[in-house]
Amino acid sequence: MNRLALSLLLIALPVFGQDTKQDHMKDCPMHAQHSAQSHQAVVEINGDQAMGFAHNKTTHHFRMTADGGAIEVTVNDSGDKPNTTAIRSHLSHIAMMFSNGDFSTPMFIHDSIPPGVTTMKLMNSSIHCAYEEMPTGGRVRIKSDNPVAVAAIHDFLRFQINEHETGDNLEVVTR
């Protein structure tokens, strides 16, 4: 585990003395707007590639519950059988990957390590992931009895809500 911590630290260290195009772009008064648009485009392109269906034909929701939360994806057109099938295939695969501590897909989609992922990997044995079919898509339930794991799940889901701009509640919903 010390090697893992050291590797993460080395990855996180900034590279000093490198003058990059990004450094010059920070002088642009609209840099934040350009960066946000560029990042959102990367998320959408990577997402479409990783998921196997177009983001503009589907709706994502990220729900937070007291014991964790859920990732839900449905088609926008209830008659869209090919994308319904693709969603179900992708989410059942994601549930299996997450159960094995593999978060490479969200890391690829977002081009970063999402908050909560490192803790979720370390606490994988106390997190349960399960796929559930929905009428026009599917859901991955992620839950735990461990409060630290639940906090990590919530961090991960909040990140997803912000990155995918779903407008979902950033707080735990009690039903």
* 20 in a structural domain: no
Write out pLDDT tens, residues 2-51: 555 444 444 444 444 444 444 444 565 555 544 455 756 555 654 455 56
* 59 in a structural domain: yes
Provide the sign of the torsion angle of the four alpha carbons 9, 14, 17, 22, taken in this order. Answer: positive
Q: Give the total number of structural domains in the chain.
A: 1
* 172 in a structural domain: no
Write out pLDDT tens, residues 63-105: 999 999 999 999 999 999 999 999 999 999 999 999 999 988 7
* 61 in a structural domain: yes
Residue 161 makes CB contacts below 8 A (sequence gap 6+) with 62, 167, 168, 170
pLDDT at 52: 56
Can you give the residue range of the structural domain that contains 96? 42-164
Residue 160 makes CB contacts below 8 A (sequence gap 6+) with 60, 62, 71, 106, 114, 166
CA 27 to chain centre: 30
* 174 in a structural domain: no
CA 174 to chain centre: 22
pTM, whole model, 2 decimals?
0.71
Give the DSSP H or E segment for 129. Answer: strand 127-134
